[in-house]
Amino acid sequence: MEMPVPDAGVIKRKARIVQRLQEVLPLSAVIHDPAETRAYECDGLSAYRCAPLCAILPSSTDEVSAALRVCFEEGVPVVPRGSGTSLAGGALPTADSVILGVARLNAVIETNYPDRYIRVQTGRTNLSVTGAVEQDGFFYAPDPSSQLACAIAGNIAMNSGGAHCLKYGVTTNNLMGVTMVQMDGTVVEIGGAHLDAPGLDLLGVICGSEGQLGVVTEATLRILHKPEGARPVLMGFDSNEVAGACVSDIIKAGVLPVAIEFMDRPCIEACEAFAHAGYPMCEALLIVEVEGSPAEIDEQLGLIKQIAHRHNPVELREAKDAEEAGRIWLGRKSAFGAMGQINDYICLDGTIPVSELPYVLRRIGELTASYGLGVANVFHAGDGNMHPLLLYNANKPGDLEKAEALGSDILTLCVEVGGCLTGEHGVGIEKRDLMTVQFTTEDLEAQMAVKDVFDPRWLLNPAKVFPLASSDARRHQAA
């Protein structure tokens, strides 16, 4: 993956930059020893690594503002980092950049049940936001698989989703306001405890901007009361196509499950071997979860089972209690870990119209075979967000490159059928150079114009999202 040539001038001025940062931050918040900066050399896309110039860990909005002001004056690129779980290289540093980690910004600022929001510092992990309100029956809905580790800052940057967003929406639908620091240190307050924007929806464009418009230090998030209960049903089918058709029929029938998850045979086998969840051995498996009171759940699952029966399921298993529900989810939730046990893999994230599921699954199989690689599919079927895991051997020269080429082909296929490159992981560096498959020059110019306004010198996370060739002039006028 090509990255811009680091600015030698910045690297030469390291001592001065570190000293200036130490003047505005506690000593322990400036990490500059090469042995320690290595901890920030990569994120969840660990195939690519580069230690930053230094890393800073501010503990307040004021500290973030002061530190960004220094970087702005010194012309140093800044790479914001949540928990570093990005699968797209969103937090990958360059050698001339300062990593701004939000890990020390982890406080709950306000919890308000009558108005149904929580205000937190954005280094707080996704799961611990729910953790702060669950004793009172509330929860924060977006639930990315990495929710134990991932930070709200990263969720906002990538507009993260999760298994349950079919019903509750993704981050942008649950974000009410932010405090954000611009690259020059300016602090802006956008939104709050009320709904909708008074003028332009700046919050809407900040969410999902991959840390390129500003550093979000505080967020107001919508919280909801937990449903009375939830219950999954597991359904096995003897082909991907039939499972795909069943998904479409469930959605059309007017039931709105909170989650519809899909796994294919390679994934079922790996999960079963890893987690012993008791999955049936079949070609495709769906986990459908509904919520409500026991009677409401019965009614919805009744309908879903009726639909499933029309597609001749080889297995139909409804959880009778919490333990069985846990077992049904166990395999799915350990899918990425299970695959990681048996193989190196690249996890794709393209989204397609649900109607194209059977065709796209077949084409993925054909493309993978033509590269001589393996693939396992596990994904959020209700909203067409696919996660093909492309299996390769990191120790075999050329295998990673082959898997990346296959990944490009599959993502191009997703765009061709009316979908997109990434549904919830973000572009980062991983899909940066594929952006021209989905967008015209004019489409990309319009997006880059937004960055021009928020960060005119292109210092924030500059080498991400847009193809390097597209952003080249902007990044250089900045330097």
Partner 1 sequence: MQPETEIELAEAVRAAKGPLRIVGGGTRPVGRPIVGEVLSTAGLTGISLYEPGALTMVVQAGTPLAEVETALAAEHQRLPFEPMDHRPLLGTTGTPTIGAVAACNISGPRRIQAGAARDYMLGVRFVDGAGTVVKNGGRVMKNVTGYDLVKLMAGACGTLGVLTEVAFKVLPEVEAMATLTLSGLDEERAVAAMSAALGSPFEVSGVAHGAGMTRFRLEGFTASVTYRADRLSDMLRPFGAAKVESEPATVRAIWSGIRDVTDFAGKPGDVWRMSVKPSDAPGLIARMGAEVRLDWGGGLIWALVPEGTDLRGRIGPFAGHATLVRAAPETRAAIAPFQPEPAQLAALTAGLRAKFDPRGILNPGLMT
Sign of CA dihedral 286, 287, 292, 298: positive
Task: Count the neighbouring beta carbons within 10 Å of the beta carbon of residue 296.
Answer: 14
Residue 188 Cβ, how far from partner 1 at the closest point, in Å? 5
Q: Is 285 helix (H, G, I), strand (E, B) or coil?
A: strand
Q: Give the C-alpha separation, 287 to 446, whole Å.
A: 40
CB-CB contact of 156 with 78 (8 Å): no
Nearer to partner 1, 7 or 383 (CB): 383
Q: Give the C-alpha separation, 81 to 98, whole Å.
A: 10
Stretch that binds partner 1, among 40-48, 97-105, 119-127, 185-193 (CB under 8 A): 185-193
384 binds partner 1 (CB under 8 A): yes
Stretch that binds partner 1, among 124-132, 279-287, 351-359, 370-378 (CB under 8 A): 351-359
Nearer to partner 1, 53 or 258 (CB): 258
354 binds partner 1 (CB under 8 A): yes
Q: Of the candidates 148, 197, 273, 281, which one interacts with partner 1 according to CB under 8 A?
A: 197
User: In one letter, which amino acid is 146?
Assistant: S
475 binds partner 1 (CB under 8 A): no
How many residues touch partner 1 (CB under 8 A)?
A: 93
> What is the helix (H) or strand (E) element at residue 184, kind and residue range?
none
Site for partner 1 in 152-171 (CB under 8 A): 158-159, 161, 165-166, 169-170
Q: Give the C-alpha separation, 91 to 400, whole Å.
A: 21
Site for partner 1 in 308-337 (CB under 8 A): none
Nearer to partner 1, 50 or 450 (CB): 450
Residue 465 has, within 13 A of its CA and on its CB side, a CA count of: 22
Q: Give the C-alpha separation, 333 to 328, whole Å.
A: 9
Q: What residues pair up with 189 in beta bridges, in sequence order?
A: 179
Q: Of the candidates 74, 272, 283, 299, which one interacts with partner 1 according to CB under 8 A?
A: 299
Nearer to partner 1, 300 or 343 (CB): 300
User: In one letter, which amino acid is 355?
Assistant: S
Q: Of the candidates 4, 75, 131, 192, which one interacts with partner 1 according to CB under 8 A?
A: 192
Site for partner 1 in 114-133 (CB under 8 A): 114-116
Site for partner 1 in 42-71 (CB under 8 A): none
289 binds partner 1 (CB under 8 A): no
Q: Give the C-alpha separation, 20 to 210, whole Å.
A: 26
Stretch that binds partner 1, among 6-14, 206-214, 318-326, 337-345 (CB under 8 A): 206-214
CB-CB contact of 183 with 460 (8 Å): yes
> What is the helix (H) or strand (E) element at residue 124, kind and residue range?
none
Site for partner 1 in 231-270 (CB under 8 A): 248-249, 251-256
Q: Give the C-alpha separation, 80 to 210, whole Å.
A: 9
Stretch that binds partner 1, among 14-22, 67-75, 259-267, 294-302 (CB under 8 A): 294-302
Site for partner 1 in 415-474 (CB under 8 A): 418-427, 431, 435, 438-440, 442-447, 449-454, 465
208 binds partner 1 (CB under 8 A): yes
User: In one letter, which amino acid is 435?
Assistant: M
Residue 261 Cβ, how far from partner 1 at the closest point, in Å? 14
Q: Give the C-alpha separation, 248 to 236, whole Å.
A: 16
